Amino acid sequence: TELARAQGVPPYVIFPDRTLIELALRRPASRAAMLEISGVGEVKLERYGEDFLAVIAEG
């Protein structure tokens, strides 16, 4: 939500709910692992991947 606010877009524009749920369940630790999740492509990985990986690593 913070990332979406900072970008000035609704949260679903960054990732749809099903992708967020899968990210939360699988907790990828690398960019390669994120790419295995449905809804995460090269563009979104490049744009948001590091932020999501940092939050996931924080626990």
Q: What angle do CA 46, 13, 22 make, to 5 degrees?
A: 75
Total domains present in the chain: 1
Looking at residue 1, its pLDDT comes to: 78
Looking at residue 59, its pLDDT comes to: 84
**CATH no. for residue 11?**
1.10.150.80
Q: Give the number of other Cβ atoms within 10 Å of residue 28's Cβ.
A: 19
Q: Per-residue pLDDT tens for 2-21?
A: 889 998 999 889 999 999 99
Domain range for 16 is 2-58
Q: Are 35 and 45 in contact (CB under 8 A)?
A: yes
Looking at residue 47, its pLDDT comes to: 93
The average confidence (pLDDT) of the chain is 94
Looking at residue 26, its pLDDT comes to: 98
Answering whether pTM is above 0.75, one says yes
Question: What does the alpha-carbon distance between residue 27 and residue 52 come to, in Å, rounded to a whole number?
Answer: 10
Q: Per-residue pLDDT tens for 33-44?
A: 999 999 999 999
